[in-house]
Structure formats: C-alpha cells, structure tokens
C-alpha cells in the first residue's frame, strides 16, 4: 500500500529565508504526488502536483517541488518565505486505479518576522 511520510511536524523559518518541507513516499507503482496547503479554518487548497511529466513542478505562490524517484522524495521549496505562507502543508500520494489521496500527517510552517 502507498504511504507518505512528512519529516518534521513543525518547521519555523525567518521571513525571506528558504522554505524546505520534506516528503517521502512509498509506492510499488508509479505515484502521483500532491502538495496541499491548509490555512486556519479553511479547506485544503492545491499548491502543485506531479503527474509523471516534468520532475520539477512549479505551483502557486512561488512554491515548487522536485520528484526524485531514486530518493522516493517530493520535497516542497520556496526561495523566500513570506508571512502569508504560515499554514499547514500536506503531502499526498495517489495511484492509478485507486483515485484516493493518502495524506501525510502534515507540517505546520511558522514564519518569524
């Protein structure tokens, strides 16, 4: 069965610093990978997704992620953090035929002024 592990339940960075949120997946078949963001009291919103095209995926709000099959990773990065990036971030995996997302436990991102 497929699964996702997010390393670090809480990440704190300074405004303007690099954001790196880690995600590793486990899947016996080629995965499709997603990053969602959840702001307080709101639903999840898609940041970006990998669907077997380009391995470097660009998303909204300046985020990007790189699919690395050899490392079974799909880490999320942003060069310069903004206060508005403070939220909960979820990595998720979907596989062909299942059509359901399996989410990691989430990483809470805090931005320090």
Partner 1 sequence: EAGVVQSPRYKIIEKKQPVAFWCNPISGHNTLYWYLQNLGQGPELLIRYENEEAVDDSQLPKDRFSAERLKGVDSTLKIQPAELGDSAVYLCASSPRAGGYTDTQYFGPGTRLTVL
Question: Which residues would be at the binding site for partner 1 (CB under 8 A)?
Answer: 4, 9, 32, 34, 36, 41-46, 49, 51, 90, 92, 94-101, 103-106
Q: Which is nearer to partner 1, 53 or 83 (CB)?
A: 53
Residue pair 91/33 in contact by the 8 Å Cβ criterion: yes
Give the nearest distance from C-beta 82 to partner 1 in angstroms: 23
Give the nearest distance from C-beta 112 to partner 1 in angstroms: 21
Q: Which is nearer to partner 1, 69 or 100 (CB)?
A: 100
Task: Give the list of residues 6+ apart from residue 58 with CB closer than 8 angstroms, or none.
Answer: 48, 64
Of 109, 105, 48, 47, the C-alpha closest to 84 is: 109
Q: Which is nearer to partner 1, 17 or 22 (CB)?
A: 22
Alpha helices per DSSP H over 60-100: none
Give the nearest distance from C-beta 101 to partner 1 in angstroms: 6
Give the nearest distance from C-beta 73 to partner 1 in angstroms: 17
Side by side, the strands of the sheet bearing 56-58 are 3-7, 19-26, 73-78, 64-68, 56-58
């Amino acid at each position: 069965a497929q699964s996702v592990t997010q390393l670090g339940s809480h990440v704190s960075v300074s405004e303007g610093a690099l954001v790196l949120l880690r995600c590793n997946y486990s899947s016996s078949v080629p995965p499709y990978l997603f990053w969602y963001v959840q702001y307080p009291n709101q639903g999840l919103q898609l940041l970006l997704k990998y669907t077997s095209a380009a391995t470097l995926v660009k998303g909204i709000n300046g985020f990007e992620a790189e699919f690395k099959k050899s490392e079974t990773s799909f880490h999320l990065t942003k060069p310069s953090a903004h206060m508005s990036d403070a939220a909960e971030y979820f990595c998720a995996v979907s596989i062909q035929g299942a059509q359901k997302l399996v989410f990691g436990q989430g990483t809470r991102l805090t931005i320090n002024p």
